Structure 1
Amino acid sequence: MKCHLLRMLAALVCVLTGCAPAMPVKDFSLEKMTGKWYLVGFATNAQWFVTHKDHMKMGVAMLTPTADGDLDISHASLKADGTCWRMSHLALKTDTPGRFTFYSETWQNDNDLRVVDVLYDDFALLHTIKTKNGVSEIVSQLLSRTPEVRVTLQEKFTQYCTENGILPENIAFLPKNG
């Protein structure tokens, strides 16, 4: 019930504030996205995150363009028990540069991923709409080329998330592993 109320509240906030659909950044360059990124910020109103965010740590994502213009995404992070958690997806390009789709076998959901802001040598802000059984959730991620995140970038991410209906208490800057 609480989760349902949070979703309704987030949707209402979007309607009242006039949220536009998240659009990919103009002049997106797939090639410049290539390489190692640190997952330093994560935000969603999804119930699984609310109950697990205190245990999440910074992870590493490797982004590799394919010859067809798709994006191979490999993510790894250290779990609390010291083991490594890995996940990979082949995100398929769409007609809109900076927008990709993929199905997650792990979570059994459809994903619509958009790169909504980026400075290729610094940070990338990703907006993903995850849909399972007709229910959609927004996940925002802040990627950085380094594990350190400056305050201005944290503020930018926080503002983006709240403007898109994510509650401030559901925005996390992930601590380093180790």
Structure 2
Amino acid sequence: MMARLWRCMVVVLVLMCVCLWSSTEAIGGAKSRPRPQRRPPKKSKVEATDVTQPAQNIDIQQMTGTWYLLNTASKCSYLIKHGTQVEPTVMTLTNSPDQTLSVSTKTRHNHQCWEILQVYHLSPTPGQLTLKGARPELDTKIVIGETDYNSYAIMYYHKRGTITMKLYGRSVDNLSEPMLTKFEQLAEKQHLGLAYLFPFPTYSHCGTVDQEHVINCVPTC
């Protein structure tokens, strides 16, 4: 009788140990890892000329002359920080016989008039220009998106994967409200909403420039 009792107790203890071991393995044991998913390929950056095409049959000769900067759409860090302090800016384009466009930009800095001199290189495609940087990857690609030569011009500046849009006018007071609205709509397509629009003053532009402030540089935006 005692022998049977001991055998029953041993069997019960063995079953309890087996159950506890199985339970511990299920809770704290190694788990199968999910099969790693293949990452989708990264989309290549889109060049400016892929998303903004120049206006048809741009005549660079008709683009020459004076243009007043009226509005800018950009995520440039300088404009985001100082966009309320922008100064009136005027650009003058002069055609050169060596397939370049001489660019003079006058603006105010520290209450003095500065002139920024640059050279835009023409490309085989009318309406596409290049402002060369210190290295090819620092070049600024410029596209004349829209213009009627007489009242407005919308230009795209593409540098290192970012786009800045600028709206120029032949004068400061003859641009219609629909054109300003159109510029805002085109900027929205480039993910440049109202928060990234920076209107420029339309008064008190620079005239004569102190020669000490004639410089050659590449714009930050």
TM-score band by shorter chain is 0.7 to 0.9
Pick the structure with more helix per residue.
Answer: 2
Check conservation: 1:31, 1:65, Cα contact below 8 A.
yes
Q: Post-superposition shift, 1:104?
A: 4.6
2:60 corresponds to which of 9, 23, 30: 30
Instruction: Identify the residue that residue 115 of structure 1 maps to in structure 2.
Output: 144
Equivalent of residue 165 in structure 2, options 133, 140, 153: 140
Aligned length: 155
Larger radius of gyration: 2
- Structure 1 runs of 4+ with >6 Å offset: none
Could you state the TM-score of these two structures normalised by the residue count of structure 2?
0.65
Question: CA RMSD, aligned part only?
Answer: 2.2
Residue 69 of structure 1 and its aligned partner are, at CA, apart by 2.9
TM-score w.r.t. structure 1 length? 0.80
CA distance in 1, matches of 2:66, 2:200: 17
Asked if the contact 2:79/2:198 (under 8 Å) is kept, the reply is: no
Identical positions, percent:
22
Unaligned stretches of 5+ residues in structure 1: 1-14
Higher relative contact order by CA 8 Å / sep ≥ 6: 1 or 2?
Answer: 1
Q: Does structure 1 residue 65 correspond to structure 2 residue 127?
A: no
Contact 2:88 2:202 in 1 (8 A): yes
TM-superposed CA distance for 1:58, in Å, is: 2.4
Query: d(CA) in 2 for partners of 1:52 and 1:104?
Result: 24
Greater CA deviation, 168-177 or 55-64?
Answer: 168-177
Aligned residue type for 1:89: Q
Aligned residue runs from structure 1 range 71-86, under 5 A = 71-79=101-109, 81-86=110-115
- Could you list the runs of 5+ residues in structure 2 that have no partner in the other structure? 1-45, 205-221
Distance across 2 between alignment mates of 1:25 and 1:70: 19
